[in-house]
Amino acid sequence: MFQDWNWLTFVHWRFPAQTIAPFLPRGLQVDTFDGSAWVGMTPFYLSHLRPRLLPAVPWISHFPETNVRTYVRDRNGYPGIWFFSLDAARLTAVVGARVSYGLPYKWARMSVKRNGNRIHYRSSRIREDTAFVNATFETGPSIHRGDLESFLTERYRLYTILAGRLAFADVEHEPWPLQQSHVIHLEQSLLRSAGLPAATEEPLVLFSRGVRVAVGRPHWL
């Protein structure tokens, strides 16, 4: 499948690796940076969603999304992403991704708005309105990625449980063009809804205008 990920904010919290390990399925282990695990919340606007050889359909192929994830390696040491949740504003996309990839998508009311250097994200799950995001960030100049920024953003494989078995799909895109960003306002309950404890530090925040993405077919590991 092909899609564009636009106006994406990376919001990352540091956690002890032993806190995250029990949430992972057999066959995956926590990937750490300087001994710590990281949990990310990434709200963005998805556009031009389409299967191979078919055009994008207006409205259905454009919608906000927010995922909560952590970073892992499989038994062969290959790095990737494990999703705690993915919220999307199109029911068709939610159903399609759950069926075809086994990903834990949730249907939500969502919006993404830009006003100058500020970007606003709103989300509330349908039938689970206690899972929400209400956040505003201010973006800054471009940055040169260091080791930590690369660890958190350059991930080209997702892992999932499909038909009861550990599976993966490869993701292709250019390196993220990154900018500085900081929190103006941040309320969210998505980490708590995933069963994660409250973060004890302020988050690390980065912004990207976006990339064009190809997501491969899932394969059992």
pLDDT grade for 27, boundaries at 50, 70 and 90: very high
| CA pair distance 101, 78, nearest whole angstrom | 19
pLDDT grade for 65, boundaries at 50, 70 and 90: very high
| CA pair distance 175, 50, nearest whole angstrom | 21
pLDDT grade for 59, boundaries at 50, 70 and 90: low
Q: What is the C-alpha end-to-end distance of the chain, expressed in Å?
A: 20
CATH at 95: 2.40.400.10
- Considering the chain, what percentage of its residues have pLDDT values greater than 90? 92
Question: Residue 97 pLDDT more than 80?
Answer: yes
What pLDDT sits at residue 219? 97
Averaged pLDDT, 99-122: 97
Instruction: State pLDDT tens for residues 174-195.
Output: 999 999 999 999 999 999 999 9
Question: Residue 87 pLDDT more than 80?
Answer: yes
Question: Residue 49 pLDDT more than 70?
Answer: yes
pTM, two decimals, is: 0.96
The domain containing residue 75 runs over which residues? 2-220
What pLDDT sits at residue 25? 98
Contact (CB, 8 A) for 217 and 170: no
Report the number of distinct structural domains present in the chain. Answer: 1
Residue type, 129: D
Question: Residue 3 pLDDT more than 80?
Answer: yes
Q: How far is CA 60 from CA 47, 48, 50, 82, 91, in A?
A: 9, 9, 10, 26, 9
pLDDT grade for 51, boundaries at 50, 70 and 90: confident
pLDDT grade for 204, boundaries at 50, 70 and 90: very high
Q: Which two tokens stand for residue 29?
A: 């282990």
